[in-house]
Structure 1
Amino acid sequence: MKEQQQNELVPANDPYPLPSESGIYEVSPEMASSWFSYRRHPKLRPFSARTSARYQADMEAGRTQPGPIRWPEATPEGLIFDTEGWIISAQHRLKAQANAGLTLRWRIFVNEPRDISPFLDQGRRRSAADLLSVKYGTQVGAGARHLAALADGDRWGMPRYNSITIPEVVATYNEWPELTWDLTKVMAAQYEADIPAGPHLAVIAQASRTQYRDLIPGWLEGVRTGYDLHRGDPRAHLRNRFRGGLTTFGKVNKRDMAYALIVKAWNAFVSDERITVLKFMASEELPRVEGFVADQKGAAA
């Protein structure tokens, strides 16, 4: 690593000078906090606490991940400062690092012209699907997001679903190879019966870790085709609820509703239960997949 050389204190009052040359440098949480506080240019884009919190979660997750590369060193996108020491691109990552209390190695660009700022952040943010490198990555990512949210959700839904970070989605995918075991058939059920693949994959992945795993092929064939299903068959009811669009009741959002209906139908199917109506109300707890023990990864109940 290059030896850090110090510029004059510009902007004024910042006790932590920037390096004089661009390169990779170790940045303490105190430095990150100070740079965030003193070096934000008056014309910098508005600060987003939500974006910073997402970066912080990624950094904190990287602290426990195996391997030599942590979150900021996994990309050449660095902290960028202009010719006077003001931030061009760095504020959200600096705030996240300061809040996380981590010392990190950053690629730092100094003495950059301020007029490059309109050309930054123009690319598309990488999604979980981009990183999973699997067919139907969007749907598999949604399934992994459901499983991650279920791991620490409450009894009434998945309140953290929307705040699950991309590293969490990827880590969950790696922990659940079952998400891809029946992927083609789950996608066929989505195409032919409008049953959303994300929550369906999450349910089937959990079912694959129970004593009912051998019933999955019959389940998937029934929900896909609807062939020769009697009126009380849970698979027929599930098809009817989703075909043409899911209607929700009360304060239940569609995500929780979709997941709950799939779980309820699956549980009735494995119990060989005839049903007359398939519904989920806001007053109900989110159902659990029959036979799955959440704290027993990989083991049948």
Structure 2
Amino acid sequence: MGKIERVAPEALTPSESRYPLPSAAQVLIVTPEMASDWLSYRNHPKNRPLSKSVSAKYQADMEAGRWREETPEGYIFDTDGYVISGQHRMKAQANANVTLKVWVFPNEPREIFDVVDQGYKRTAAHLLRIPYATNLANAARHLAALADGDRWGMPRFPKITTPEVIAAFNDWPEITWHAKELHRTCVETGIPIGPHAAVLAQAERTEYRNRIGDWIAGVMTGENLAGSDPRLVLRRRFIGGLPTGRGKRDLAYAYVVKAWNAHALGESMTMLRHMQTEVLPTVVGYSFKAEGSAAA
């Protein structure tokens, strides 16, 4: 390969841009005005189309203070001063109106565009590094999606970012308390660990927490339960299988909540169902709104 020619720093500034790039890689204090300027005048026409949903996720993390500054990924520019990697983060930073310390890499060969951002995306499960990490991260995602108070399903569920999942996991240590038993229950019945752990985590913060032991034992084995016992009804509902397609996640969560609520209140149950037009049930004795107010 031939030697890559390095151009002078002043040549790395498109005429429209008000903010020149540094002559070498370094951590810079990047203002929202700089991010907006670079996105407007330095975004290469061959970059992939800007995704509003991706930049919105980054923006939410920045606004909530979850964005880790000085990440080595940084903002990368080619030998002509145009963006190779960073357009979604720049858009998020400009919209969030936040100033960040960012690694800026100028004067990089355009050829690296083909390999930047092509790796295996790091998930919350990768970061947690605990038994049943994928399922417990899913439980944390449920709790993060429920925290906004929307009870017509969980529309934010797919929009929850990895930092939000980690934050929810740290806020809810109860998620891990029954992981081994819930895994066995999942193997026996098909009741998914994520929504199940999310429901019991909330239950642990209520006056009905002393009923969790009996709940787990009954749902796990189904032994010595009457036909109208909510634990047995829940087992049979999942063993029979759930409908596929849109709404299955909300349905699974709703079933676990309804069965748990009946068990906690000592009520019998003959049928377990949830309609899409029905408000998503809340765990008896727990309120995200009340807890948020108490924390404030």
TM-score normalised by structure 1 residue count: 0.90
The alpha-carbon deviation at position 8 of structure 1 amounts to 4.0
Question: How far is 1:279 from its partner?
Answer: 0.8
Deviation at 1:137, TM superposition (A): 1.0
C-alpha contact 2:149 2:288 (8 A) present in aligned 1: no
1:267 aligned onto 2:261: yes
| Cα pair 1:153 1:159 within 8 Å, conserved | no
Q: Is the 8 A contact 2:26 2:104 kept in 1?
A: yes
CA contact (8 A) 2:36 2:91 kept: yes
Partner of 1:50: 53
1:294 to partner: Cα distance: 2.5
Map 1:102-181 → 2, pairs under 5 A: 102-181=98-177
Q: CA RMSD in A?
A: 1.9
Asked if the contact 1:80/1:87 (under 8 Å) is kept, the reply is: yes
Q: In the alignment, is the contact (CA less than 8 A) between 2:13 and 2:19 conserved in 1?
A: no
8 A Cα contact 1:153 1:160, kept in partner: no
Structure-1 separation of matches of 2:151 and 2:184? 30
Deviating more after overlay: 197-206 vs 142-151: 142-151
Aligned to 1:61: 64
- Given that residues 7 and 19 in structure 1 are in contact (C-alpha distance below 8 angstroms), is that contact kept between their aligned partners in structure 2? no
- 1:252 CA drift (Å): 7.1
Question: Which residue number corresponds to residue 30 of structure 1?
Answer: 33
Bigger Cα displacement from structure 2, 263-272 vs 283-292: 283-292
Equivalent AA in structure 1 for residue 188 of structure 2: E
For residue 93 of structure 2, give the secondary structure of its aligned residue in structure 1: helix
Q: Is the 8 A contact 2:51 2:88 kept in 1?
A: yes
CA distance in 2 between partners of 1:9 and 1:115 (Å)? 17
Q: TM-score of the superposition, structure 2-length normalised?
A: 0.91
Counterpart in 2 of 1:186?
A: 182
CA distance in 1: counterparts of 2:110 and 2:256, whole angstroms: 53
1:246 to 2:249 alignment: no
Unaligned runs of 5+ in 1: none
Task: Give, in whole Å, the separation in 1 of the partners of 2:117 and 2:246.
Answer: 36
Structure 2 SS opposite 1:88: strand
Q: Deviations over 1:138-157 (max 9, x none)?
A: 11111111111111142322
Q: CA deviation at 1:97?
A: 0.7
Per the alignment, residue 44 of structure 2 pairs with 41
For 1:285, the equivalent position in structure 2 comes to 279
1:96 is displaced (CA, Å) by 0.9
Moved more, 17-26 or 154-163: 154-163
